Chains A and B, each alone.
Chain A
Amino acid sequence: MTHLMAHMIPYFPDYPTSLEAARALIDAGVSFLEIQFPFSDPTADGPTIEAACTTALAQGFSVDRGFEFVKALAGRGPEIVIMTYASLVISRGVDRFCRDAAAAGASGVIVPDLPVDSDEGLWNAAEKAGLTVIPVIVPTTSEERLQKIAGVNPRYIYCALRTGITGTRTELGAENLAFLDRAGRTGAKILAGFGIQSPEQVRTLKGHVHGAIVGSALVRVISQAASPEACYESLLGVAQELVRA
């Protein structure tokens, strides 16, 4: 089966709704929760997630509260991965960030702007804390670069299905699937995302990936909900369809 990694942002659109969103994703049976700690300047994200991060910060998100949020969800089924940007990790201190993430119950971290060889000690700190670091690659990543990433033995590799930023739909064809297979030959489990919105796309990925990542599409569902309860209901439906795909 194809696992589902669902992306969400604590404190978006507000704290209670984001908590209901997380509950819906857990109840839908996602295998991974990718919890993004909002950063003021998320350069790898598209407009949907960028705007959601701005709202979350205005709603009072802080890194401490982010870890509290993770703690409240840990042990309820899905593996929790914290996604954020270098600034938040560096400001807390790489070691402390990893220790706090592990203590909150996360199993991994994704920090796109701390790539292998410019990681500021993230890989070591994560290993010490018992966390896994999930590197992100793109179809234009060279073979040489991929081998360098494979050299640090990542448990998972996050494959962005195209270049660019999150949020716009990706056409899945022979080319991206070949890219996933190329990444899979490193021995890492492949998680694929960027522009995945429909169960049909998740089905296309079957056999090529360990998991499909859905981000902006879920954030849009969350942003349209009128109340925490409505958010739970609508997100549960959408997520269930994706999980069953």
Chain B
Amino acid sequence: MSDPDRIVQSFFGDFGGRYVAEVLRAPLDELEVEFITAMQDQEFLRLYRNLLRDFVGRPTPLLYAENTSREIGGADIYIKLEGLAATGAHKINNALGQGLLAKRMGKGRVIAETGAGQHGVATAAVCAKLGIPCRVYMGEVDVRRQRPNVFSMELYGAEVVPVKTGSKTLKDAVNEALRDWASSFQDTHYLLGSALGPSPFPDMVREFQSVIGRELIEQTQERGIVPDAMVACVGGGSNAIGFFAPLLERREIRMIGVEAGGRGSATGDHAVRMEGGGRLGIVQGYKSMFLLDSDGQVQDTHSVSAGLDYPGIGPQLAYLGASGRVEFTRASDQEALDALRVFARNEGVIFALESAHAGAQVLKTAKELGPGKTVIVNMSGRGDKDIFITAKELTPQTWKDFMQREVQEIEAKEKQS
């Protein structure tokens, strides 16, 4: 693990911090101390590593995308198949770490926010495994468009609370979780799912997600792969920071973060915070780049993927972007859907819509780098959960017929009973 003195940085240049109402000060101070202590506790780390292996299914594979690389005729593309982790995405690395931390702190209840639902599903599964009651706040819009994830969370025994305030998406779920925590922190851990929010969350999430980058170092060394570039999608930024962080010192590797270009560059049509659209602000307890109007009100966002439509970006990534270490780019809804198809047909791998944004970029980067180079893309999640969105987009009529038959079947069954 990292140097304990550096494990909680709080500020990354001008970004980060702990801008919270006084009520949340004490629980965050406590969490920082507990986190640092846990990360030096060999027993805690051993338990975490064992469950990463046995429960999460790590290490996740590194797949050579041979057919796609050949088709493009550029750099060799490798895919870190993070989506093969239990519950279908990288989210469980952090959920497990924080779940164990909650248990160590003696907290009898966990709350979480979720956007696409992947963090909610991961948290619900971890809480089931560790025997902790769990409540997940999820925007009403996301509940609607990610029903399969809601179903899984409930199956794991979690209580899913639809959030009806504001834009009814991820940021509003974060607000509700913060509100809950402000009165429940004495017995409740807030298991935040992305590398954002007030310190120490960005540091904590990065540390728990860094298993991705550390595995990648081992896997590339073992196989003699020398990466020239790495590509990850960026909503709040947890998969990207976990993928990048352990390799940041290797300056020769280009690192590329991909934001949601949505359906255009008008306000409300995208979630591009780094590439021109964002402003420096303080929202939800941390200072970073946000999509704000001139008064400082948070603007609406859009992305075909529920996990990328968050109006802010984790403070460390904002800093890495400002300092030039990480390049930022965007992929549109359509480019993501196209990339989804490419990797499904060529590699037998279905990306989550979020990760497909990185997939779209890696196709461009591979071409740009040219033969003899290597680029690695993080497939942060697999696409099973998106079937209700992707099928509707890619094969609307067939999907409609299927849905109608499903409804008829349910109705017929209801009539019988």
Contact A163 B282 (CB under 8 A): no
Given A41-B175, A43-B179, A92-B296, does the pair A140, B21 have CB atoms closer than 8 Å? no
A-B interface, 7 closest residue pairs, ranked by CB to CB distance from nearest = A164-B183, A91-B296, A87-B296, A112-B21, A86-B282, A88-B296, A40-B298
Contact B22 A112 (CB under 8 A): yes
Interface residues of B, count at CB 8 A? 33
Partner of B292 from the list A91, A142, A163 (CB cut-off 8 Å) is A91
Please indicate the chain A residues that have their CB under 8 angstroms from the CB of B21 in the complex. 43-44, 112-113, 115, 136
Closest chain A residue to B182, Cβ basis? A164
Determine whether B285 belongs to the interface, using a CB cutoff of 8 Å to chain A: yes
Main secondary structure on chain B at its contact with chain A? mixed
The CA of A140 and the CA of B26, in the complex, are separated in Å by 8
Contact A145 B26 (CB under 8 A): yes
Among A54, A62, A63, A115, the most chain B Cβ lie within 10 Å of the Cβ of A115
Given A43-B284, A47-B165, does the pair A165, B297 have CB atoms closer than 8 Å? no
Given A46-B179, A87-B281, A87-B282, does the pair A145, B25 have CB atoms closer than 8 Å? yes
The CA of A88 and the CA of B292, in the complex, are separated in Å by 10
Binding site for B on A (CB under 8 A): 39-44, 46-47, 50-51, 54, 57, 62-63, 86-92, 112-115, 118, 120, 135-138, 140-142, 145, 160, 162-165
Partner of B18 from the list A42, A118, A120 (CB cut-off 8 Å) is A118
Please indicate the chain A residues that have their CB under 8 angstroms from the CB of B166 in the complex. 40-41, 54
Determine whether B395 belongs to the interface, using a CB cutoff of 8 Å to chain A: no
Contact B22 A137 (CB under 8 A): yes
The CA of A160 and the CA of B294, in the complex, are separated in Å by 31
Closest chain A residue to B171, Cβ basis? A41
The CA of A145 and the CA of B183, in the complex, are separated in Å by 19
Contact A163 B285 (CB under 8 A): no
Contact B296 A145 (CB under 8 A): no
Contact A163 B185 (CB under 8 A): yes
Given A91-B292, A113-B20, A115-B20, does the pair A43, B178 have CB atoms closer than 8 Å? yes
Given A43-B175, A63-B295, does the pair A90, B22 have CB atoms closer than 8 Å? no
Please indicate the chain A residues that have their CB under 8 angstroms from the CB of B22 in the complex. 112, 115, 135-138, 141, 145, 160
Given A57-B297, A165-B183, does the pair A141, B165 have CB atoms closer than 8 Å? no
